[in-house]
Amino acid sequence: MIAHATEGFPLEVCGILGGNGDTVSAIYRMTNTDQSNEHFMMDPREQFAVVKELRAKGLEMSAIYHSHPETPARPSEEDIRLAQTPGVSHVIVSLATAEEPVARSFRIGDGIVEAQQMVIIP
């Protein structure tokens, strides 16, 4: 995610994480059709293809990630408003401090944001 965010800088990048339960095991880089540094929109056809592939592999969509090239790793008002995927986490990668990218995960539902712990399993 951080590599994707860095490569896509200064634009926002987005992608999908797949896994089972609380464990993520697959990453899919998606096209930000907005090509913006402030928001993102996934290509619905690309998203559909990934959902299909996840299903074929017995995986669930665990999270949607996107980068904040210049702002902190917390959901923007728009992120909160547009989060309409219950059960799917939202991971934000911030490059606001270039030397120190930050990734944080959130559950967002009904306008309520709840931070989640993320652990990297070697």
Q: Which residues would be at the binding site for Zn ion (CB under 5 A)?
A: 76, 79
Q: Closest distance between Zn ion and the C-beta of residue 90, in Å?
A: 8
The CA angle 34-65-57, to the nearest 5 degrees, is 110
Closer residue to Zn ion, CB minimum distance, 61 or 79: 79
Q: Closest distance between Zn ion and the C-beta of residue 116, in Å?
A: 16
Tally of CB atoms within 10 A around 3: 12
Closer residue to Zn ion, CB minimum distance, 26 or 74: 74
Closer residue to Zn ion, CB minimum distance, 31 or 76: 76
H/E element holding 46?
Answer: helix 44-56
